[in-house]
């Protein structure tokens, strides 16, 4: 948002925020899934090959179900971090939750909007934590 105009590229606030979050978290998620795929033992690939499966069949039926179970905790952590990092768009002067709360605090001289914003972020994080805990419990059933 601040560096691209120096080379002649102007982006709207929302586009810059989306681009930044997408590029940043795509790198994290790619690394998480790469590590998950590499953590599956080599014997799983060999066993699928002896059964006559193609590489796409092997990935879809054998490897990815195991990977999902292994990468779910780090994916949930990064998703929760993404929700919390949305408060960083405050720097771009966009009207996010934190900017609105600050505006009300400055106008009313009351700290309650900050408490409401904190509760809102806590509620979003709690919902995500609960959902990912349910997913981990569901996929954990098939671990043994």
| pLDDT of 46 | 95
Res. 141: pLDDT tops 80: no
Least confident of 1-5, 33-37, 72-76, 133-137: 1-5
% of residues, the chain, pLDDT over 90 = 47
Q: pLDDT value at position 15?
A: 85
* The two structure tokens encoding residue 35: 């590590």
Record the tokens describing residue 143, joined without a space: 């671990």
Tokens of 56: 């796409």
Task: Identify the top-confidence range among 7-16, 47-56, 81-90, 112-121.
Answer: 47-56
Give the pLDDT of residue 90: 65
pTM of the model: 0.74
Per-residue buried b or exposed e for 82-114, using 16+ beta carbons within 10 Å of the residue's own CB = eeeebeebbebebebbbbebeebeeeeeeeebe
Total Cβ atoms within 10 A of residue 4: 12
Block residue for tokens 């195991």: 66
How many domains is the chain partitioned into structurally?
1
Expressed as residue numbers, the domain containing 25 is 4-140
Q: What is the CATH number of the domain that holds 32?
A: 1.10.3720.10
For 110: left if phi > 0, alpha if psi spans -120 to 50, otherwise beta; the answer is beta
* pLDDT over threshold 60, residue 93: no
Average pLDDT over residues 79-103: 75
**Mean pLDDT, rounded, for 91-98:** 63
């Amino acid at each position: 948002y601040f560096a691209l105009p120096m080379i002649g590229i102007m982006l709207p606030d929302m586009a810059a925020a989306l681009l930044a979050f997408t590029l940043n978290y795509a790198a994290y998620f790619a690394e998480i899934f790469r590590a998950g795929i590499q953590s599956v033992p080599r014997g799983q690939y060999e066993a699928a090959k002896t059964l006559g499966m193609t590489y796409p069949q092997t990935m879809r039926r054998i490897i990815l179900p195991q990977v999902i179970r292994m990468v779910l905790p780090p994916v949930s952590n990064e998703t929760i971090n993404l929700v919390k990092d949305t408060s960083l768009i405050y720097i771009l002067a966009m009207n996010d939750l934190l900017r609105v709360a600050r505006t009300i605090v400055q106008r009313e001289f009351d700290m309650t909007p900050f408490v409401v914003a904190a509760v809102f972020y806590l509620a979003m994080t709690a919902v995500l934590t609960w959902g990912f805990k349910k997913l981990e419990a569901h996929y954990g059933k098939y671990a043994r």
